[in-house]
Structure 1
Amino acid sequence: MTAAPYRVEASRLVATDAATAFACVADPRTHPRWIPMTVIASEHAAAPRVGEPFTMVTGPFARRTGRGFPDRMTVTAVEPPAGPDGVGRTRVRKDGPFLRGDAGFDVVPVDAGRCRVVWWEEAYLAGPWPRRLNALAVGVVLRLLLHVSLRRLARDLSDGAGA
């Protein structure tokens, strides 16, 4: 019997419509604008589609050197805001070498000019140590990163930066 994944999530009310916020969070090429110490290391002319891999690199010198901890991911779902609930969803699988698991964004419309962006991660360190225990430790760092990043995203989108 496998233990349920340990989920870390943060959300933020954003002063823009759901379609604009979704376009930004669904395109990892925009993430370095609002995720600290992070760059995209893979070349893409457009946002990666379902089944396509991409790599982000995070570390204190990543923006200057491109070096740090690689986070290889594969897009597993992209569902723009539409349908009866209007919620947009993205999902990626974390393929290592350091982090494994799943992550994603849910963009929930509030009204014509606002939405709530929810960023969630079910990530753990690859390796031989107990998954649940290391997921708790990773969760401490992720929780801080998610809150700081969503605050920056909200600021950028309210300033009209968009995707």
Structure 2
Amino acid sequence: MAQFTVVQEVQAPAGAVWATLVDWPRHGDWAPLTVVRTVPGPAEGLGAGFVARTGVGPLAFDDPMTVVAWQPPAGDEAGDRPGRCEVAKSGRVVHGRAWFAVTPLPGGRCRVVWFEDVTVSPRALTRWAGPVLSLAGRLGFAATLRALARDVERTAG
């Protein structure tokens, strides 16, 4: 398995960051070479589904996901309950789970924690290349969360 965690502080309220993160098609605005589309069904909350298509031409792959846990943040003040969303990944290439949490901090800020625990097909690839995939995922998602932070800070500020 490839696992990684990325943490990003954002100079914006937890509610605004949560709303941006769960606007699934917007993920393509920050993740390079990625387009996200929703699938029929609920747009948010448990059971919401979406597909991230990542790559170029014949090297692109679909990463279908379904929300399996959903708890928006209880507020924007430090000490308010954090929000947490978890998805199950069920694609032919990427399988596993991912989640993010949005924790309110003092001064109208918040912290985003993003975690992935995935296997890439062929599964032998993950077994042998797990550390490299974890590093690549951590670096890629760190850049994605920095782009998200810049975006939401511009619009919320």
Give the residue type in structure 1 aligned to 2:72: P
Task: Within 5 Å, give how 1:109-128 maps onto structure 2.
Answer: 109-128=104-123
Tell me the number of residue pairs that the alignment of Structure 1 and Structure 2 aligns: 154
Runs ≥4 residues deviating over 4 A: 43-46
Q: Distance in 2 between matches of 1:151 and 1:111?
A: 20
Evaluate the alpha carbon distance shift between residue 101 and residue 55 of structure 1 in structure 2; reply closer, same or farther with a 3 A threshold: same
Q: Is the 8 A contact 1:26 1:47 kept in 2?
A: no
Q: Which residue of 1 aligns with 2:74?
A: 82
Matched residue, 1:105: 100
Name the SS of the counterpart of 1:122 in structure 2: strand
Q: 1:130 to 1:153 in 2, by over 3 A?
A: closer
Give the percent of matched residue pairs that are identical in Structure 1 and Structure 2.
35
* Residue pairs, 1:140-159, within 5 angstroms: 140-159=135-154
Q: Residue 139 of structure 1 aligns with which residue?
A: 134
Asked whether 1:26 is paired with 2:18, we answer no
Task: List gaps (5 residues or longer) in structure 1.
Answer: none
In structure 1, what is the Cα distance between the partners aligned to 2:66 and 2:115?
Answer: 16
TM-score (norm 2): 0.84
Q: Of residues 68, 73, 93 in structure 1, which corresponds to 2:65?
A: 73
Cα distance in 2 between the residues matched to 1:109 and 1:12: 12
SS of 1:73's partner is: strand
Q: Which has the higher helix share?
A: 2
- Provide the rounded CA distance (Å) in 2 between the counterparts of 1:26 and 1:135: 28
Q: Structure 2: how far apart are the matches of 1:33 and 1:41?
A: 12
- The separation in 2 between residues aligned to 1:121 and 1:127, in whole angstroms, is 18
Please say if 1:16 is aligned against 2:12.
Answer: yes
**Normalization by structure 1: what TM-score?**
0.81
Partner of 2:86: 91
Taking the aligned partners of 1:31 and 1:6, their CA distance within structure 2 comes to 21
Shift of 1:32: 1.1
1:70-96 C-alpha deviation (Å, 9 max, x unpaired): 101111111001286521001001101
Query: Is this contact kept in 2: 1:80–1:87, CA < 8 A?
Result: yes
| CA distance in structure 2 between the aligned counterparts of 1:120 and 1:15, rounded to whole angstroms | 21
| Residue 133 (structure 1) shift | 3.6
RMSD over equivalenced CA pairs, Å: 2.7
